[in-house]
Copies of this chain bind each other. A is one copy, B any other.
Amino acid sequence: MAHANKMSEHYKKCIAACEDCARICNTCSDDMIGMEHHGDHQLMARCIRLCRECAEICSLSGAWMSRLSPLADSLCRLCAEICDKCADTCEQHAPHHPLCGPCAEECRRCAHECRDMVEVGSR
């Protein structure tokens, strides 16, 4: 594959991290929608929303990187910020929802990969 060769291992790793993060955020957000809340309702609502938005920005970041878009850098910078916000909230909510712990970990990993990618570039 001529084209894929243009992508560094680093770049591919960032795409994979975005896909992984989008997947678990989708699962995590949806699972909470079905939950009878115990405790802080507003915390859970914030968590549902952040996971949903985080899933979308991660998914778009992965798509733009897959297209080697010159705009991927600015999107990934924003993606890293949102991943960190989502991780903060998931960590707070983790005692009430078993998926929030692993979800926060993926968000931190994705934020890290996005920042690395922006520094190093695609090739």
A residues at B contact (CB < 8 Å):
1-4, 15, 19, 22-24, 26-31, 33-34, 36, 41-42, 45, 48-50, 52-53, 55-57, 59-60, 62-64, 66-69, 71, 74-75, 78, 81-82, 85, 98-99, 102
A45 to B48, CA, bound (A): 12
Q: Which residue of B lies closest to A48 (CB)?
A: B33
Q: Is the beta-carbon distance between A63 and B67 smaller than 8 angstroms?
A: no
Number of copies: 4
Q: Evaluate contact between A41 and B36: CB separation under 8 angstroms.
A: yes
Known: A30-B69, A33-B33. 17 other contacts (CB 8 A): A1-B102, A3-B28, A22-B66, A26-B63, A26-B66, A27-B68, A34-B42, A34-B45, A49-B67, A49-B69, A50-B71, A52-B52, A53-B64, A53-B69, A56-B60, A56-B63, A74-B82
